[in-house]
Every structure is written in structure tokens, then in C-alpha cells.
Structure 1
């Protein structure tokens, strides 16, 4: 799954990768991004609108859903294209969530040890996500997950769907709506591009948000 991540790359670094105009505003570095908060995404607000760096609420509930409908933060790649709850957004409202890495927890000696997973070259990672207008009119998003690959499988059985560079443009293309076509042109980041290390248990508390959270520590620290 993906339930916590960090984004501390500056905005020019992100917009340059997608060929977007340089935005005038700055992003506040965040080292402990939790569900139920606004997260940075790249999306088309409408099919005919240009790409923008925007924010969506990390919690997905379509505007047509009932009041007590679930509000997931993740959706599995196995079901996102066919589930009635997600398939409309999968076809028409795909977006990217930039992260510098994400956290997972592994049981070590009866305790949960947090780990930080990121690219070996420390470049930003682009996670596949979808969004929909929520009942309150605000956009809400969900990050897609897949079975864990490579070193990520040593920490958790699932991982966020991280995309390779050539897949970013087709993933964001609102005119690509066919599931089979998307499978042909969208590919995940190679598993050997990732690495991980143990980090402080301070990350367990969402209000802790400082650069030291992503620094390596001895397990159990």
C-alpha cells in the first residue's frame, strides 16, 4: 500500500520533467505526508484544460457516492479499471503524484520498523493516481498500488504504482481511455531502480515533519 510519503523536491525540478511552465509559487517541503491532507498532483482539471500542478484531497469519494461510502487512499491496479467505484476516474481522470519516496513498516522483533523507499539516484518518483470531484465539490484522489517488486517486496507485499519516464505523458492523456491501450503504453518503474533503509519511528506520528525523518537510522531507533 502507500499510506505515507515525502515530497521535498522543489517545483522547478518537477515541472521541468513534464515540460510544464515554470510555476511562480513554491512547494513547502513535506517529509511526512499523511492521508486526509492536500497533496500535490499533476492533472488536467478538465479534458480540454492544460496540465497543471495542483492539489487534491488524499481521500477518494466520487460526487455521486452515498454519504457513508468508503473513502480509500489506495486502489489496486487489479480492480481500478473495472470497479464501478473507480472505473470512470480511471478512464477520464488520471493524475500523477510526485514523491521523493514513501514509507512502509516491517515487523522486526515484534515491533513495527519504518523504512523509507526511494530511487537509488534520488530522482523524484511519479506515482499513478486517479481523482474525482468529491461530494463537497473538491477534488479527491487515490494512489494506485500493485504487487511489490524487487527490493520493495522485502518490506511490504504491495507498493505504489511508480511509472517510468516514458509513461508519464500517456498516463496523463485524457483521450486515452481504453484499458488495453493503456496497458501497452504505460509501464512501471524498473524494480532495480529502488532502494530503502530504516528510519526513525518518529515518522509514526503524522505531526512530525522534518528532514531528519528520511535519514537512515539503526533499526529500532
Structure 2
């Protein structure tokens, strides 16, 4: 699954992988985002396409349609999202990208939960597939977005059975296109998902367990 991640670099450091400046309607901001411990229930910078240009909007991480009457969900399984009653409209019309430096996962070791930070070996940003309730630009506290997850494979299974669906930059750009239908989006996922051998991980401080902590030390390796 994905319950915490880091989104700390400048907007440009993520966007440069996805589109030329003419393809974006996003104001330049040289300041790092600086969020080392992004948690559900907070607004997250979410990338999506409108009028054939990329837009960046603060969107609530969590989805709780009024008819459901239950706490918000934060993840959607890629295996069922395209066809389920709850997620199919989002899959068709609310595809987006949450960019990140890496995500956190907890594994029980010696009776205690040990946090790990998982990131790309080559240091490139992660472009995590997301779906949500549009329009994203409304900026209110209505239904937000979810991160799409997939089954963990290879070594990542040792950390957790699920992981965020990370797309290559090319696939991420195609995933967001408004003229892409649901079936084509499924093909993009199959062809453009980043596989497990591109990731590495290490233990980090238990301080990441509190969403109040946002220091850069949270993504640095520690030994126990």
C-alpha cells in the first residue's frame, strides 16, 4: 500500500521529466516543496491535465463519496479500479499523478514495526498513478484523490505485499491525457509501470510515525 511519502524537491525538479514549459499552466516556484512526511488527510500537490496543459493543484488525499458513509480510502487497487462501482468514474475522468522522492513502508521485525524508505536506485522522482474526484482545481474539502496500488514483486514483497503504481515519465504523461479512454489507460499501466528492480530501500527513523515530523532527517538511513 502507500500511506506516507516524501515530496520535498522543487516543482521544476519533478516537472522537467514530464513536459516542456509550453505544455504546463504552472507558475514557476524556486522554493522546495519540503514535505518529507506526506500523510493522508492533508492536501497534496497533484498533477493533472486540463485543456491539454498540465496543472498543479492542492488536493485532499482521501476519497469518501457521500453515499458510502465510511472513513476515507487512500488507495485503490489497480486490479479492480477500472471496473469497480466506486472507482470506475475516477479511472475514466480523474487520472492524475502524485510525484514523490520515495514512499515509506512499515515491516514487523522482532515484534516491532520498522519503517523503511523506498526510492528509485537512479535517484529519479517517482510518478505515482492517482485517481480522484474532479475538478481538482476547486480546492475545497470535497472528495479528494487516491493513490493507485499494485502487487509488490520480487524483493519488495519482503517489505509489504502492496506498493504504489509508479509509472515511467512517458507513461505518466500519457496516463494524464484527457483524450485517453479507460481501456487505453489500462494498457498504459501494463506497459509503463516501473518494475521492482528499479527500487532500493533502507531503514529510517521511527520519527516518521508521527505526521507532525517533517524534517529531512526522516528520509536518511539509520542503523539499529
Q: TM-score, normalised by structure 2?
A: 0.88
Look up the match of 1:9: 9
Secondary structure of 1:91's counterpart equals: helix
CA distance in 1, matches of 2:47, 2:134: 15
Count of aligned pairs: 214
CA distance in 1, matches of 2:168, 2:195: 7
Look up the match of 2:124: 123
* 1:150 positional shift: 2.7
* 1:67 positional shift: 6.8
Look up the match of 1:166: 170
Q: 1:149 aligns with which of 143, 148, 153?
A: 153
CA distance in 1, matches of 2:148, 2:69: 22
CA distance in 2, matches of 1:197, 1:49: 39
CA distance in 2, matches of 1:145, 1:185: 15
Secondary structure of 1:79's counterpart equals: helix
Q: Tell me if structure 2 keeps the 8 A contact 1:11–1:27.
A: yes
Which stretch of the first structure deviates more once superposed, 149-158 or 97-106? 149-158
RMSD: 2.0
Look up the match of 1:57: 60
CA distance in 2, matches of 1:215, 1:137: 33
CA distance in 1, matches of 2:68, 2:185: 32
Secondary structure of 1:122's counterpart equals: coil
Q: Tell me if structure 2 keeps the 8 A contact 1:5–1:31.
A: yes
* 1:121 positional shift: 1.3
* Runs (5+) with no aligned partner, structure 1: none
Q: TM-score, normalised by structure 1?
A: 0.89
Q: Tell me if structure 1 keeps the 8 A contact 2:104–2:116.
A: yes
